[in-house]
Structure 1
Amino acid sequence: MTEMTAEAAADALDRALSGRMDSESVDAIARLAPHVERQELTRLVHTTMPLQSAVLFRVLDKDDALAVFEGLPPNYQAELLQNLREPEVAQIIEGLDPDDRADLFGELPARVVSGLMSGLDANEREMTAAVLGYPREAIGRYMSPEVLNLHADWTAAEAMEVVRARIDGPETVYLLPVVAAGRILTGVVSLRNLLEAETSAPDTAVGDLVREAFSVHALTDRERAAREFLSHRLIAMPVVDEEERIVGILTMDDVLDIIDEEDAEDVARSSGSEPLNRSYLSSSILRIVRSRIVWLLVLAVSAILTVQVLEVYEDRLDQVVILALFIPLLTGTGGNTGNQAATTVTRALAVGEVRIRDLGRVIWRELRVGALLGSVLGALGLTVAGLVYGWAIGAVIGLTLLSVCIMAATVGGLMPIIAKRIGADPAVFSNPFISTFCDATGLILYFTIATMVLGLQ
C-alpha cells in the first residue's frame, strides 16, 4: 500500500476503535490493522480505552504484537494484559527482555507475577529476579542483566569469535565491558576498536584496547544515573555492585524512557497536577480529576493567605482606592519571576549543573538577577503609573516592582534546593507554591511601601 493509503487505513482504524465494539467493528479492525505501520499501531493501542486496545492487539501477528507491546509504558502494559487470554500473555512475557519484563512486573499484583515467573525458563527467571531485587527508583531496576563480558588476556581475534557466537544474547555489543577474575570491571572496549584490531593485528590483547569505563552503582537513583549517562554522551554504561563486579548494562533506550518519565512528572507537578501515567485520550474522566483535585485543594487553602493579607490592609485600600488596580500586576509579576527562577534552578539541579552546596551561590546570583529585572520593570512602572496617576503612586509601583522581583527571584532559586536537601521533588516547590508565596509576600511589600511613601495610617 502507498503511504497515503496506509495513512487512510490508520484513520479508518482510529474511527473503528472509537465506535461501538460489535462484530462489524471487530471485522473492520482485523481487516485494517495489517495495513497500518507499527508506530501508528502503538499509538492507537496506547490512546484508546483498554477494551478497544485489547481487541486491536489480538488481531496483530506475533511480531507486530511484541513490537507494539514493548513500545507501551509499563502501567499500560499491565492494564492491557488483564484483557488478554492466558496463552497470549505467556507469549508476550516470554518475548520481553529481562529489564522490560521486570518493569512490567512492577505494575502487576504479586500473585500474578508469581504465576508469570513460573512460566519462564530457569535462565530468564534468574535474570528477571535479579533485576526485580533492586528498589523501584534504583538504576539496577532498569539495567539489562544480559552482558557480554571480555577478558583482558584474550586476543582481539578470540574476543571477536566470542562476540559473533553470542551476538544474539546481549542487549548491546557496541560497548563491551572488560572484566578480571570474579567479574570485576576493569574497563570497556568499543566494538569498532575491536574490529579494527582483529583486522590489522588479530593477536593484540584486549587489555591493550581497554579504556576507562564510566560505570554506575546499581543502587544509584535512576534519574541521577540517567542524567550522568546523557552528560557523558554514552551509548551504554556498565552497572556494578558494591564490589565493582559487573551486574548489568544500561543502554540509551532505557535512559530515554527514564528521562521521559521524570520530565513528564516534573512538568505535571510544576503546573499543579499529578502525572496521568498513561495517554490523555485513554484516561478516564475520574483519573484526570484525581490527578488535579488534590493540588487545587492545596492551592485553594494556601491562597487564603492572600485573602488574609488583603483583609489586614483593607483600611489602606479604603484610603487610596487606586492601589487596588495594581494588585494583579504586582502579584503576577512576582509569581512569574519566582517561577522563572525555580524552573531554571530545578533544571540545573536535574542535569547536575547545580548541587546542594551551591545554595549560597544560587541565592547571590538570583538576588542580582532579581535586582536587574526589578530595576527595569520598576523604572517602567514608575514612568507609566507616574504619568497617569501621579508620581507618588508611580514611586510606590516602581519600588514595589523592584522589591517583588528581588524577593521572588531569590525565593524561586532557593526553594528547589531546599526541596532537594530534604528529599522532596524540586518540581513540587516550583510554580504552584511559589506563586502563592509570592502573592502573599508581594502584597505585604506593596502595602508597606505604600504606607511609607503615601503616609497612610
Structure 2
Amino acid sequence: MAADTDTLDDLFDAHDLPGLERWVADHPPHEVADELARADGVRAALLFRLLDKDRALTVFEELDPPDQHKVLAELRGEAFRDVVEEMDPDDRARLLGEAPAKFARQVLAGLSPRKRSMTAALLGYPDGSVGRYMSPETVALRQRRTAGEALGVVRERGADAETVYTLPVTDDQRRFVGVVSLRDVVLSDPDRSVTELLKEDYPLVEATDQAEDAARLMQEANVLALPVVDSENRVLGLLTIDDAFEVIEAADTEDIARQAAAAPWSGHYMSASVVQLARSRVVWLLLLIVAATLTVNVLQFFEDSLTAVTALALFIPLLTGAGGNAGSQAATATVRALAVGEVRTRDLLRVAWRESRVGLLLGAALGAVGLMIGSVLVDVPVATTVALSLVVICSWAATVGATMPLLAKRLGIDPAVISAPLVTTLVDATGLLIYFVIAHAVLGV
C-alpha cells in the first residue's frame, strides 16, 4: 500500500492526469476512498472527478460524512447534483445531518421533489435514531400474495430498493406481521402462500429507537436486515447490514476515544490537523490534572509518615501503577460488556462482587511478587506493607473500575465517559490512602 501511495503522490506532483486516471481505475473503491479521505480538498475533488459515474457514487458512499463534505465543497453545478441525487436516502440523510445548515439547504434545494421529500422525512427523526439510518426504499409484500406474485413484485420494484434479500410482510393496513427471505420465495412453489413462508418472530425496532441498540440487535440475532416500524407497527423501512456495521464502528470509535480520555471526532486521522487532534484531547487532560491534585493532597497529609519511613516512597509508583492498571482493565471489560448487552445496570452488585474477587486474586499474585522485591530492596515490615496494600488496592480498583460505568449508565451518562484514565486517577488517590493506612497499622507511622 505504501508503494501505491508514493506512486499517487508522484503522479500529483508531476500533474500526470492520465496516470491519475489509470490509478483510480486500477484500484478498488475502498482504496480510492481512503486516498480521498487522506488528501486535501483540491486533490480529493480532482481524483473524484476522474472516476466514472457509477464508481464515483460507490466511492463517495465509502467516505465518512466529513470527508464527503470536503469533496462536495470542491464540486460545482451538475457534478454536485448528480452525486447527491444518486445517493441512497439514508446515506444522504447522514451527510446532511452532520453538515452546516447552509450546506444542507443548498443540497435539499437541488434534489428532485421525491428525493427531497424522502430525505426530509429521515432528517425528521432524532439524531442517532434508527430512522436516520434506515432505508425507506424497500420491497414490502402483502401476506395474501403467493410466492409467484411476490417474485413479480420484487422484479417490478426491486431495482429501486437498497436490498431485496429480506422482504417485510404486512397486512392490509401496512402493519408488520413478519418477513420472508428472497431465497424462500424463489425456491418455493409459485402457488404457495407467502403466509406459509412467514417468519413471525423476526426482530424489529421502532424508528425512534437508538441506532446502536438496533445494530447490536442485528449482530445478536444474526440477521441481514432489520424491519423498522412506527408507533402503530407500520413498516417504514429496513436497517441493512452495511449500515449496521457503520453504526457499530462509529459507536466503538467513540467509546475508544472516551476510554482514552479524548473527545470523539469523525473523519480520517491523516486528514485531521494538529490543532484538531490536540483540541480533541486537551479538555480531558486538563480535567485529569485537576483530579490528580487529590494524589498530591494525600501525599501532603501523610508527609510525616514518609519522613519517618522514607522507604515507603520507593513503592508509590508500583502501587499506583498496579491499582490504575487493575481499574482500567475492569472498566474496559465492563464498558465492552455493556455495549454488547452481556451485563445490565441491574447487575451492578453481581459485577461488583465478581470483580472484587478477581481483584483480590490479582492482588494476591502481585502481592507475592511485591513481598519478594520489598524484602530484597528494603526490609520485611515495609515489604509486608507493600504486599498487603497490593491485595487491597487491586481488589478496590477492580471494584471501582467495574461499577463506575454501570453507575454512569444508570444515571444516563455514556459509560465510556467514565474512562480508564479517570478511573486510574481516582484509584491513584484512594490507593495511596489505603497504602498509608496499612503502613500505619503495620509500621506504626
- TM-score, normalization by structure 2: 0.96
What is aligned with 2:198?
210
2:402 is the counterpart of 1:413: yes
2:278 is the counterpart of 1:289: yes
Which runs of structure 2 are paired with 1:36-435 in the superposition (5 Å)? 36-197=27-188, 201-212=189-200, 213-435=202-424
User: What RMSD over aligned residues (CA atoms) do the two structures have, in Å?
Assistant: 1.7
Amino acid in structure 1 at the alignment position of 2:353: W
Moved more, 442-451 or 56-65: 56-65
Deviations 1:173-198 (A, max 9, x none): 1111110022100001111111111x
* Preserved CA contact (<8 Å) 2:261 2:419: no
State how far apart, in whole Å, the 2-side matches of 1:337 and 1:277 are.
30
Moved more, 114-123 or 396-405: 114-123
* Preserved CA contact (<8 Å) 1:150 1:177: yes
2:2 is the counterpart of 1:11: no
Residues 315/101 of structure 1: CA separation in 2 closer, same or farther (3 Å cut): same
2:429 to 394, 416, 440: 440
* Preserved CA contact (<8 Å) 2:331 2:402: yes
Moved more, 262-271 or 74-83: 74-83
Deviation at 1:8, TM superposition (A): 5.7
SS across alignment from 2:218: helix
Residues 50/388 of structure 1: CA separation in 2 closer, same or farther (3 Å cut): same
Deviation at 1:25, TM superposition (A): 5.9
State how far apart, in whole Å, the 1-side matches of 2:98 and 2:365 are.
52
Moved more, 132-141 or 74-83: 74-83
Deviations 1:272-322 (A, max 9, x none): 112331111111111111111111111111111111111111111111111
Deviation at 1:88, TM superposition (A): 1.4
Deviation at 1:208, TM superposition (A): 1.0
State how far apart, in whole Å, the 2-side matches of 1:149 and 1:429 are.
43
State how far apart, in whole Å, the 1-side matches of 2:364 and 2:148 are.
69
Deviation at 1:425, TM superposition (A): 1.5
- TM-score, normalization by structure 1: 0.93
For structure 1, the 5+ residue unaligned runs are: 1-5
Number of residue-to-residue matches in the alignment: 444
Deviation at 1:16, TM superposition (A): 4.1
Deviation at 1:36, TM superposition (A): 3.4
For structure 2, the 5+ residue unaligned runs are: none
Amino acid in structure 2 at the alignment position of 1:73: D
Deviation at 1:14, TM superposition (A): 3.4
Amino acid in structure 1 at the alignment position of 2:423: I
Amino acid in structure 1 at the alignment position of 2:331: A
